[in-house]
Amino acid sequence: MKTYKYRAIASDGSPVTGVIEAYDEFEAIAEIRRTCTVVEDIKPVENKRRINIDINEPLWVSNKTLALTANQFFIMLKAGLPMSRTVSLIAEQSDDRLMKRILRACAEDVAAGYSLAASLEKNGKKIPPVFIETVRAGEESGTLENSFESLEVYYTRAHKTNKKVKSALTYPVIVLLLAVVVIAVVMVVLVPRMIETLESFGTELPLVTRILIAISNFLAKSWYIILILIAAIAIAVFAYGKTEKGKLLYSRIRMKLPVLGKIARYNAAAQTANTLSTLLAAGLPVTRALEIVSRVVDMRCVGQELNKAIVKLESGMSLGEALANAKYLPAMLIEMITVGESSGMLEETLRTIGQYYTDEATSASDTALGLMEPMITVILGVVVGFIVIAIYVPMFSMSSGGGMM
């Protein structure tokens, strides 16, 4: 509920000022007009509350939490529990602090007579639009149970996919980080001491050893500059990636990369098909569903193409025709959409093709990750080999009594 400060004229013509609590401005005006003939001014009152930061509260609602919450709503609503009671129970049962806080706020609004979707939109800024809009469509069409069932399937699949990718990435990333740290320590701490020993003999060192000395000296003297530079570049890249132009540019670059581009294209196709299928199953019209997908899809360049397709849809084209010239969506996805529209089974077709591209993205990711380990091994082997050769060549030369290179 929001608080509004108003100035009005009563039925007897006297001026009236006061405050009123309402869900939105329209409801506040309607309530004021019960006792006043004219509302001259109305403004929301900012609630200056102390900000309590809970370090244990997650920054966003995870796919796992969304799937579990949708499942709980489905079970309780199917059992016949009223909505207000359902929201309160799920809020108390939730282990996720963020979701618990959101649902507790929603429980108050729902108990006051407002819809769940409107309450989620007001209180759940960190809940994806797909979740909220699917709930709204379910409420409007009277199929809310089915909407929650679709959401449970959708977010369970998303959680499993993300978990698999993260699990596969963990090992190579840890190995790479450890290797970088070990090599840095060797170059900054051990190599200078060994080079001192070699230089103490007063003989000319070979070229490979002199290169190693130059690299080691540079790292020892400028390591903090390198760290600051890397941090500055990372921050700049991250900040630009938060802008609309940055999202668009980075998504286009990712789509064009040799191996990762294929994975990004498959992921975008899977996300588009799965999300669109879920929204259509909830009863949203195609244009509204496409508008939501364009906002939530990870690849901004794909979202831009979906936005262009909305204009074509509104002009009378079919979805397949509107997406016909999309550069960043696979041709097979567009073809299957056309087939689904022609057969009247668009929702089922999207679900099937979405699962196909999810499997293809997972397979491509597994292949790419499988190639990472030997690539990391080869790169580390080259670096370690260079260090070993640079140190032991002069040693071998001295032990054999030969001249230096």
> What's the pLDDT at 338?
92
Mean pLDDT of 209-228: 83
Task: Spell 176-185 as b/e; 16+ CB within 10 A means b.
Answer: beebeeeeee
Q: What is the pTM of this model?
A: 0.69
> What's the pLDDT at 68?
94
For the ranges 252-261, 326-335, 337-346, 372-381, the lowest mean pLDDT is seen at 372-381
> What's the pLDDT at 242?
87
pLDDT tens by residue, 152-177: 988 998 888 788 777 767 777 788 88
Band of pLDDT at residue 404, cut at 50, 70 and 90: very low
> What's the pLDDT at 46?
61
d(CA 357, CA 297): 14
d(CA 275, CA 129): 11
> What's the pLDDT at 58?
62
pLDDT > 90? residue 235: yes
Burial class (CB within 10 angstroms; exposed 0-12, middle 13-18, buried 19+) of 297: buried
> What's the pLDDT at 12?
78
Domain boundaries, the chain: 2-44, 63-156, 170-405
Bridge partners of residue 15, in order along the sequence? 9
Query: Domain 63-156, CATH 1.20.81.30 — does that match?
Result: yes
Mean residue pLDDT of the chain comes to 84
Band of pLDDT at residue 49, cut at 50, 70 and 90: very low
Mean pLDDT of 14-41: 79
> What's the pLDDT at 17?
83
pLDDT > 50? residue 51: no
pLDDT tens by residue, 279-328: 888 888 899 889 888 888 888 999 999 999 998 998 889 999 999 988 89
CA distances 203 to 193, 208, 214, 403, Å, are 17, 15, 17, 9
CATH of 170-405, one of 1.20.1050.10, 2.60.120.430, 3.40.640.10, 1.20.81.30: 1.20.81.30
Task: Spell 76-99 as b/e; 16+ CB within 10 A means b.
Answer: bbeeeeebbebbbbbbeebebebb
Retrieve residue 107's tokens.
Answer: 């429980």
Same topology, domains 63-156 and 170-405? Answer is yes
Q: Are 181 and 114 within 8 A, CB to CB?
A: no
Tell which residue, 290, 288, 250, has the closest CA to residue 273: 290
CA distances 224 to 64, 95, 229, 230, 233, Å, are 40, 42, 8, 10, 14
Band of pLDDT at residue 376, cut at 50, 70 and 90: confident
Band of pLDDT at residue 35, cut at 50, 70 and 90: confident
Tell which residue, 318, 273, 311, has the closest CA to residue 293: 273
